[in-house]
Structure 1
């Protein structure tokens, strides 16, 4: 943290009309137990007040808020045989992030202790949570209404709300972010003034006010609208989308094309899709009058799957971002993080995303379908094209979807036929209908005279307990997914 920002922060805090529940001024009092109780109380109070941080500042006269300097030096303070910072980290549970910073002020040395607001549970000292009420620091348990209010406000960490770049002048915010794309994609007129542009970006939580009239670019703003992701910390830059195409069916074959994304997901999405579309081979389709070259994989399916990979990835996985790989016989789309929904139920259950703000804004900008309607459209497109069914594959560290190139029913594997049968049953159920032998024949392109082939697939899918007979007393009534 720069001295310039800390001086601006100090000036902003000194302008407040009074001490708050998340701010304490001191001259030299460095009693460790007092500091620990204050850390608990201020951290809990900051969360109640909707603040991300609380502060204790040494070197300020409490009565008139004059900067007088302090003799407290946190780096040399100890408790017993432990340095103060380590002692605090052990005494506060769950230990909040905190940082002592020494500031050189013209009127004397100042120390700022910044403590993060409580996240998952009330912060305790020696097993007791405290709260700040006026100048007092009572036990939180003595105020049950405040205790309940704090529990209601505690929330898990949201990556989108993290700060990517801090303490930026307005012109730098507009240099780092492609704000013109934001207004275009959200269908808003571009304001004429810098202030109005910043206000709109702040309203969508892409940026936030810092101190001294400066601004923060939030992770959400950076990942969606970065003009160049390399301008941001490596933890964000590594979230760029990568595309690789190979000459054969394995990664051991030569790389034909490679593209490492530089722009934010939203501002660079259409360019990415155009690039992928240009690399995908074409098949000739004979229409009513003309031969048409159509992409090997349905455009809508690819678009939806790429958008889902961006939205549903685990942003906390370091060193990895979405990866799109094109092979001779398939397209693989991989994103970091184990999915929150079982792959077999992704088509019918509402999606759960770790990145709700990102998902909401991406849908608002039209990059993907409304919540819960995306994967069924992907499978419908695949069925219409009579392609092998996609493979949804989850691991502890990633989620992968494979789209396969055209193959006849005879060339599909037994597992692919069963998977296609299950997906077909789900799509029929979601449409208010039931899968039947005839509908499965149509899905596979099987001639009616060869309907026994579809019957064999249905039998294997029943054996794997993926579907069930809709009405056991009337076997011709059709089939439903086993969970329906």
Structure 2
């Protein structure tokens, strides 16, 4: 154990003794009754949740009357129940599984054992099938107190990655060196306080940091992933979530790599720089105006911004060793993020988004780095139509989600699937704006000349056969078309 971890545990014991025995902290001397410990874990886990604490504690080596350190002979590492390792025996009796941890502390006043017990999330924690709660020094069944049971159910929340700890037990100076707090105040449009205490107070209010024991601080996963000045200074699991960008000199990954960048800054701190970097590398088309040649990017810059923000916000942060990836080819851009989407790809345009990372999404919206709920992908589709690009492709797998934005192609160069996809997305946009898709509007979308309108009719027929669209009014064939789910 490192010196910093040892000191943190000593400070933790001191803070808990100062706190006293509350519903989520209990002190023992040498009592090592296995069934008692299992029952206490259930009670303390549920009580910690009710009290708004992320962790509860059971400590040995403390006199529970005087709350003085007296030392303990209890050793969880050597303790056995029958022939079974104690920690395994406990894990088999607790449900749902929680990541409890024993720590042995060489405190100057005596040996102390600390059991960290995560607060219940998603469901009450049971021991041998029974949920317990702490009331004073008693540990009754939770179901004997229906009002507390209902209160606990209302407090239960699934685990949120953003609230996890990226770095623990660091000084205030370390916080200010590791986080780009100046960017936080600029993006949130708050005046920068003129003292350190004011800065820490604001970072705490947005759950970017939380106070630890011994006047030290913890940086949360949310704080690190959004505002890290350098992600490589954090544990590897966090550093691997940086955005990776690769551009190729051809149409596939066998082509020469022209540019590669592994993002080191937090998503919010580095977002504007990342978008500017990508836009600077976008292929350009030259358009001749009345007097001047004007270069326009091959891909809409607004669409790139929205898709990158979408990949950051909606990824599954619990997948280790993976982060968002942006790959630029000569004819397309592929943006991939870890985790299967929570919505079916063909309904992402119209349904409100569901995010695994609500705190991150909320803060990024507040800072203007991504769109208000439900409008981001609409803008991407609208930009594709405005630039008369092939319809973007949304691809979902078990462990990733990918969006492909294609460069310009004529109607003749599009595949039948691309034509039908453009037809469906066009029908969705029309419906969301209170309109209906018609043959003429699809011709304009696909760049089909008026005299070739029969080509649009063929695409509509295919979309009808695939049940992606339907007539708006079956009794009036000229009434136009809407999405099949409308």
Q: TM class, shorter-chain normalised?
A: over 0.9
Pair 1:11-2:14 in alignment: yes
* Distance in 1 between residues matched to 2:290 and 2:366, nearest whole Å: 37
Gaps of 5+ in 2: none
SS at match of 1:38: helix
Computed over aligned residues only, the root mean square deviation of the Cα atoms, in angstroms, reads: 1.1
Q: Deviations over 1:2-55 (max 9, x none)?
A: 110011111111112x31001111111111111111111111111111111111
Decide which moves more: 136-145 or 80-89: 80-89
Q: TM-score, normalised by structure 1?
A: 0.98
Give the 5 Å matches for 1:431-446.
431-446=433-448
Residue 434 of structure 2 aligns to a residue whose secondary structure is coil
Where do residues 39-438 of structure 1 align in structure 2 (5 Å cutoff)? Answer: 39-438=41-440
How many residues of Structure 1 are paired with residues of Structure 2 in the alignment? 483
Q: Distance in 1 between matches of 2:77 and 2:371?
A: 53
Shift of 1:71: 1.7
What's the CA shift for 1:424? 0.6
Bigger shift: 173-182 or 103-112? 103-112
The CA distance in 2 between the partners of 1:238 and 1:479, in whole Å, is: 46
Q: 2:475 pairs with 453, 473, 476, which one?
A: 473
- Contact map agreement 2:132 2:139 (CA 8 A) in 1: yes
Q: Distance in 1 between the 2:290 and 2:354 partners?
A: 43
Aligned to 1:22: 24
- Structure 2 distance, partners of 1:479, 1:285, is 34
Return 5+ residue gaps in structure 1 as ranges: none
Contact 2:283/2:330 (8 A) holds in 1: no
Cα distance in 1 for residues equivalent to 2:292 and 2:383? 22
Partners of 2:393 and 2:87 in 1: CA distance: 50
CA distance in 1, matches of 2:87, 2:458: 69
Distance between the aligned counterparts of 1:354 and 1:289, measured in 2? 50
- Supply the distance in 2 between the matched residues of 1:286 and 1:371 (Cα, whole angstroms): 38
Name the SS of the counterpart of 1:451 in structure 2: helix
2: distance between equivalents of 1:464 and 1:445?
A: 23
Q: CA offset at residue 392 of structure 1?
A: 0.6
* Counterpart pick for 2:39 among 14, 37, 40: 37
| Secondary structure in structure 2 of the residue aligned to 1:438 | helix
Distance 1:104 1:450 in 2: 84
CA distance in 2, matches of 1:72, 1:137: 22
> What is the Cα deviation at residue 291 of structure 1?
2.3
Q: CA deviation at 1:290?
A: 2.8
Between 414-423 and 31-40, report the one with greater CA deviation.
Answer: 31-40
CA distance in 2 between counterparts of 1:236 and 1:68 reads 40
- 1: CA distance, partners of 2:340 / 2:290: 45
Distance of 1:336 and 1:431 partners within structure 2:
32
Rounded Cα–Cα distance in structure 2 between residues aligned with 1:286 and 1:379: 26
CA displacement, residues 256-313 of structure 1 (integer Å, 9 cap, x when unaligned): 1111001000000111111111111101123454321111000000000000000000
SS at match of 2:77: helix
CA distance in 2, matches of 1:237, 1:103: 30
Using the size of structure 2 for normalisation, the TM-score is 0.98
- Aligned to 2:456, what secondary structure does the other structure show? helix
Of stretches 289-298 and 377-386 in structure 1, the one that deviates more from structure 2 is: 289-298
